[in-house]
Structure 1
Amino acid sequence: MDYLDTYIETLEITGEYSDNTVQAYASDLKRFFLFLKKKIGRIPVSDDLDSSTIKDFLESENRTGLSASTLHRRKVVLTRFALYLVNIGVFSRNDVLELFAWKQELWKDIYTREVQYLTDTQVEKLIATVAEENSPKSIRDTALLSLLLETGLPIGKLISINLSDIDLTNKRLNVTFDHGYYSYPIENSIDPLKVYMTSARKEYIQSDSEEALFISQMGGRISRQGVWQLVREWGERAKINTPISPRILRNTKVKRMVKAGLSTADIQRELGHSNRYSTRALIRKLNRRIG
């Protein structure tokens, strides 16, 4: 789309945002424009940016199970891009107000929607479907999904795990968060991890010096997108009746902790939340659904 590249270049030049933030903005905008291109059947231009398209895009993203914070970022990115178009004279401020006039209704739906998670039966079906293929990919994915379901790690932490973070002897996973350190018991996922580390991982790595635990088929550390894709793929193959995501698997772990009677403080530590308010909000939503 016209102006997209110049906007990203402007963000890079001003230095107001970190490289990671600029990359996230670029990724969000490209995702939106791919959605728009598919909708209108051609390469989009700035005149194609209207309120119904933005609303349709965010509602589509909402249905995939993204967290409210990620959806909020998508909206912020689109808003700031629209304001950039105002600054360079493409849009007027009234245009921007019209683009986002509907947002209160949408965000009310996003923040009050039910928390999605898998039932125990769905978890068993998912793991069984992955394991029955018995390929290097399925061995890796069994280990990854088992670890994600047991720890509830955020996807960023999951993909950053190194071999040195796994304590095979004591069956622990050691993770450092910005606000502290946590050692996760991994009794349930240790066996799939051992199988992966001694077999499939060796087929993926390009160098014995590779530190990453989970390796992509390209030979490097697996990416966020790679995890999203494998979770979605196995969910479809297991015929789970709703699209699943890493967030839904994380919520599944939280559901188990809530049902087991863990305290808010314990759940907060395991989730790596920096403040208790996020944890409390999630627990309240889960309790409403669990009943």
Structure 2
Amino acid sequence: MAEFEEFPEGLGGTLGAYLNHLAVERGTASATLEAYTRDLRRYGTYLADRGVRTLREVSSGVVGEFLATLRTGESGGVALAPASAARTIVAVRGLHRFAFAEGLVDHDPAREVTPPALPRRLPKALPVDDVLRLLERGVATGVRGLRDRALLELLYSSGARISEAVGLDVDDVDTRERTVLLDGKGGGQRRVPVGRPALDTLEAYLVRARPGLVGRTRSVPALFLNARGGRLSRQGGWQILKSAAERAGVDTAVSPHVLRHSFATHLLEGGADVRVVQELLGHASVATTQVYTRITMRTLREVYATTHPRAQEPKR
């Protein structure tokens, strides 16, 4: 292909064939194809500069050395950020896997080369005041407003994923026990408590709003319904939260996942045990939950540094 005409014919031809495979047979999005073209050109330049003319000449050591240069910029162009370096290795591994599957080479040297581990980002959490403003001022009045308020209160009160919340049926809500039954990842279920404000808004929605949304479709089991009487989608739930944040004047980027992070962080800051939070979130391993303790520890350090007499810098 013309994208790689500067490389030796054997090398450039394989690079082009792989991109064509992604575009025609895999239906890869144009933006992804553009990124892969840049990644593969970088790899092709690295190989060509070392006298490699076909992928048959590439060993696993060569692929590993290329990975090592991605963060330094030695393989052509500027150094890559971790996420871009990881994507580049994914593209390179896909190239070698394709060449092996097509019989163009007799081995796959990139099979054992894995993308670099990305630094774990701390989850974002909203301040409690922002969450309260979102819940109290973020929803409109009327039937849909009752539904939206019930959904948002439930998300924050239970720590549910948006897919778990919109997947709830009416029978999953136990108002006497003050719990909801969530269907989590991998088919696992968990019953979690919800607070009185969430239950009150759920009851108001069920009595005053949901019957109007159901319309003639009386048998629909879903708890949260859209305007057509069907189950509310994940995208619909996300849009409800986004609109609520705009209406409440919450400037921080808000998503259902941010609300879930806020739930966990506020529990830990209030003194909850990390294993209790693990159960509430439905994490299989406590290690997944412990990322939140890094946030609360940062808060503790800040409080300590500003309040403890012996934590202050001595005055000179």
1:153 corresponds to: 160
Instruction: Name the amino acid aligned to 1:138.
Output: G
8 Å Cα contact 1:149-1:253 kept in structure 2: yes
Q: How far is 1:77 from its partner?
A: 8.8
Deviations 1:237-280 (A, max 9, x none): 22212110111111111122102211122111111111111112
Between the aligned partners of 1:104 and 1:83, the Cα distance in structure 2 is: 13
| Counterpart selection for 1:6 from 25, 31, 39 | 25
1:208 aligns with 2:218: yes
| Counterpart selection for 2:253 from 238, 243, 246 | 243
Between the aligned partners of 1:82 and 1:205, the Cα distance in structure 2 is: 51
Q: 1:129 to 1:185 in 2, by over 3 A?
A: closer
| Counterpart selection for 1:50 from 6, 16, 38 | 38
Q: 1:278 to 1:74 in 2, by over 3 A?
A: farther
8 Å Cα contact 2:160-2:260 kept in structure 1: yes
Between the aligned partners of 1:5 and 1:229, the Cα distance in structure 2 is: 33
- Name structure 2 gaps, 5 residues minimum: 1-18, 40-81, 302-316
Deviations 1:53-88 (A, max 9, x none): xxxxxxxxxxxxxxxxxxx99998997677556655
8 Å Cα contact 1:139-1:192 kept in structure 2: yes
Between the aligned partners of 2:83 and 2:92, the Cα distance in structure 1 is: 14
8 Å Cα contact 2:23-2:33 kept in structure 1: no
Deviations 1:83-120 (A, max 9, x none): 5566556xx99xxx9xxx9x759x32xx1x33311112
| Counterpart selection for 1:285 from 275, 278, 295 | 295
Instruction: Name the amino acid aligned to 2:205.
Output: Y
1:125 corresponds to: 133
Deviations 1:138-184 (A, max 9, x none): 21110000000111112221121110011123322133544553242
8 Å Cα contact 2:166-2:224 kept in structure 1: yes
* Identity of matched residues, %: 22
Q: 1:88 to 1:104 in 2, by over 3 A?
A: closer
Q: How far is 1:223 from its partner?
A: 1.7
Between the aligned partners of 1:73 and 1:163, the Cα distance in structure 2 is: 41
For the residue of structure 2 that corresponds to 1:273, the secondary structure is coil
Q: What is the RMSD computed on CA atoms of the aligned residues?
A: 3.9
Q: 1:284 to 1:165 in 2, by over 3 A?
A: same
Q: How far is 1:128 from its partner?
A: 2.2
Instruction: Name the amino acid aligned to 2:26.
Output: Y
Q: How far is 1:7 from its partner?
A: 1.8
Instruction: Write 1 or 2 for the structure with the bigger share of helix.
Output: 1
Q: Which structure exhibits the higher relative contact order, with contacts defined as CA atoms closer than 8 Å and separated by 6 or more residues?
A: 1
| Counterpart selection for 2:177 from 139, 148, 170 | 170
Between the aligned partners of 1:75 and 1:148, the Cα distance in structure 2 is: 35
Instruction: Name the amino acid aligned to 2:38.
Output: D
Q: Which has the larger radius of gyration?
A: 2
1:219 aligns with 2:235: no
Q: How far is 1:281 from its partner?
A: 2.4
Instruction: Count matched residues.
Output: 231
Between the aligned partners of 1:204 and 1:123, the Cα distance in structure 2 is: 27
Q: How far is 1:130 from its partner?
A: 2.6
